[in-house]
Structure 1
Amino acid sequence: MNSSIKFPFYVRLSFMVISLIGITYILCIGKSVLIPILMAFLIAVLLLPIVRFLNSKLRFPNVLSSSIAVFLFVSLIVGVLAFISYQISDIADDFAEIRKNVNLFIVDIQRFIKVNFQVSFWEQRKYIEDVTQDSVEKGKETIGTTILSVTDTILDLTLIPIYTFLILLYKTHFVLFLAKLFRKEYHAKLQEILTQIKGAVQSYISGLILEMIAVSVLTSIGLYFIGVKYAILLGIITGILNLVPYVGILVAGVLTILSSLTGTPELSMILGVIMVNIVVQIIDNNILVPLIINTKVQINAFVSIVGIIIGSQIAGISGMFLAIPLLAILKIVFDKIESAEPWGYLMGNNLPKTFKWKKIKPQKDL
Structure 2
Amino acid sequence: MEYQQLKKINALLFFGFGVWALLYYGSGFLIPVTFGIFLAALVNPVHGFLMHKLHLGKIPSALLNTLLVFVVAGGVTYLFLYQLSLFASDLPELKEEFKGFIARLQDALSELIGVSQRDQQRFISERSDSLLSSLEEEVTLLLGNMLAVTLKFLLVLIYLFLFLLYQDRFKKMILRFTGKEQDEKALSLMDKGSGVIHAYLWGRLKVMAILAVLYLLAFWYFEVPYMVLLTVFGALVTIIPYIGPFISGLVPVCMYIIFGNSGSDILFFAGVVLVIQLIESYVLEPIIIGKEVSLSPLAVIVAILIGGSVWGMAGMILFVPFFAILKIAIDHSSKLRPLGLVLRNK
**TM-score range for the pair, normalised by the shorter chain length:** 0.7 to 0.9
Question: Which is richer in helix?
Answer: 2
Partner of 2:209: 213
Residues 101, 259 of structure 2: 8 Å contact kept: no
Is 1:72 matched with 2:68? yes
Partner of 1:108: 104
Change (3 A) 1:137 1:274: closer
Partner of 2:191: 195
Residues 101, 258 of structure 2: 8 Å contact kept: no
Unpaired runs of 5+ residues, structure 2, are none
Is 1:182 matched with 2:178? yes
Partner of 2:244: 248
Deviation, 1:131, is 3.8
Measured in 1, the distance between the counterparts of 2:204 and 2:133 equals 39
Match of 1:156 among 148, 152, 155: 152
Q: For the pair shown, which has the larger CA radius of gyration, 1 or 2?
A: 1
Partner of 2:292: 296
Match of 1:117 among 107, 113, 116: 113
Is 1:52 matched with 2:48? yes
3-state SS, counterpart of residue 54 of structure 2: coil
Deviation, 1:203, is 0.6
Residues 308, 316 of structure 2: 8 Å contact kept: yes
Measured in 2, the distance between the counterparts of 1:16 and 1:75 equals 44
Query: Which range moved further: 81-90 or 177-186?
Result: 81-90
Measured in 1, the distance between the counterparts of 2:27 and 2:313 equals 12
Is 1:24 matched with 2:20? yes
Identity of aligned residues (%): 26
Deviation, 1:230, is 4.7
Measured in 2, the distance between the counterparts of 1:146 and 1:101 equals 23
Deviation, 1:108, is 0.7
Measured in 1, the distance between the counterparts of 2:143 and 2:210 equals 34
Match of 1:311 among 298, 307, 312: 307
CA-to-partner distance for each residue in 1:169-206, whole Å, 9 max, x for gaps? 11111111101101100001001101110111111111
Change (3 A) 1:14 1:207: farther
Change (3 A) 1:286 1:251: closer
Partner of 2:330: 334
Residues 260, 270 of structure 1: 8 Å contact kept: yes
User: Taking structure 2 as the reference length, what is the TM-score of the superposition?
Assistant: 0.86
Change (3 A) 1:214 1:138: closer
3-state SS, counterpart of residue 326 of structure 1: helix
3-state SS, counterpart of residue 48 of structure 2: helix
3-state SS, counterpart of residue 228 of structure 1: coil
Amino acid at match of 1:245: P
Aligned 1:230-249 pairs, distance under 5 A: 230-249=226-245
Deviation, 1:319, is 0.7
Partner of 2:79: 83
Aligned 1:140-155 pairs, distance under 5 A: 153-155=149-151
Residues 234, 256 of structure 1: 8 Å contact kept: yes
Deviation, 1:253, is 3.7
Measured in 2, the distance between the counterparts of 1:184 and 1:325 equals 28
3-state SS, counterpart of residue 224 of structure 2: coil
Measured in 2, the distance between the counterparts of 1:281 and 1:142 equals 27
Residues 237, 252 of structure 1: 8 Å contact kept: yes
Measured in 1, the distance between the counterparts of 2:11 and 2:148 equals 35
Residues 308, 319 of structure 1: 8 Å contact kept: yes
Measured in 1, the distance between the counterparts of 2:270 and 2:36 equals 35
Change (3 A) 1:142 1:223: closer
Partner of 2:344: 348
3-state SS, counterpart of residue 338 of structure 1: coil
Partner of 1:225: 221
Measured in 2, the distance between the counterparts of 1:142 and 1:218 equals 28
Count of residue pairs brought into register by the alignment: 344
Measured in 1, the distance between the counterparts of 2:95 and 2:326 equals 49
CA-to-partner distance for each residue in 1:230-266, whole Å, 9 max, x for gaps? 5455333311121123443344345424654797554
Amino acid at match of 1:31: S
Partner of 2:282: 286
Q: Superposition RMSD on alpha carbons, in Å?
A: 3.4
CA-to-partner distance for each residue in 1:263-298, whole Å, 9 max, x for gaps? 755444444442232121122222222223351313
